[in-house]
Amino acid sequence: MPVLSVNHLKHVFGSGELAVTALEGIDFAVEEGELMALLGPSGSGKSTLLLCISLILTPTAGSIELGGETVYADGWAHKEARRLRREKIGFIFQGHNLIPFLTARDNIMLSLELNGVGRRQARQRADELLAYLEVSHRADALPGRLSGGEQQRVAIGRALANEPPLILADEPTASLDTERGGRVMDLLKRIARERNSAVIVVTHDERMITGFDTVRRLRDGQFLQTLDREQR
């Protein structure tokens, strides 16, 4: 069963003469442990698609299934989208979005505590993730004292905190140089393989998708040819 299945997804901004179709006829599925890239120029619909499948933006039509459960079918089929996001989706933002007055550890703990995890267990889980991401020595540092790469690793830890089956990353290397960006992409590959998570990465950088299982290209809100690893 796919972790995520999207069928005939469409999204239109505005209405009437001002309507702009951002997505149309989007169909795909992603499996456990699969690493998928969404490639396309600015305005191609990449971020809109990511917002729709993260249950933040309401599509205009189509359907979305998470783990075989229909959450959208020409209207919301599940009333608790916020809970589903917390439990089933980890989101990695381009700008990290760490809370500036919380330490690296506390940023991860907060995600757990919002999901009902006790403080002691949340601290243990946060420390395990910081060690896994090789930033445990920065656990007590505030985001402003972390490098860009360290901030992104903490943001990845926050996304992994509740062990979601689906990880979504929106331009996770945009603010990093090539070397540090490559390390972050290697880390996302490792997460897909070791944790069996489905990972979808939005990027415009062709250099960053080496080793991805599937590459889907968007132009004007529609998919072009899909390439798997063998075809590339």
Whole-number pLDDT of residue 228: 60
The answer to the question of residue 101 being in a domain is: yes
The answer to the question of residue 160 being in a domain is: yes
pLDDT band at 181 (very low <50, low <70, confident <90, very high): confident
Whole-number pLDDT of residue 226: 59
Whole-number pLDDT of residue 5: 96
Long-range contacts (CB closer than 8 Å, 24 or more residues apart) made by 48-53: 48/11, 48/22, 48/23, 48/221, 49/9, 49/11, 49/23, 49/202, 49/218, 50/168, 50/170, 50/200, 50/202, 52/9, 52/11, 52/23, 53/4, 53/6, 53/168, 53/200
Whole-number pLDDT of residue 225: 65
Query: Mean pLDDT across the stretch 90-100?
Result: 88
The answer to the question of residue 185 being in a domain is: yes
Which of 105-109, 154-158, 187-191 is predicted least confidently? 187-191
Residue 84: which domain range?
A: 32-58+76-228
The answer to the question of residue 102 being in a domain is: yes
pLDDT band at 112 (very low <50, low <70, confident <90, very high): very high
How many domains are contained in the chain?
1
CATH number, domain of 222, equals 3.40.50.300
pLDDT tops 90 at residue 103: yes
The answer to the question of residue 4 being in a domain is: no
The answer to the question of residue 7 being in a domain is: no
The answer to the question of residue 221 being in a domain is: yes
The answer to the question of residue 17 being in a domain is: no
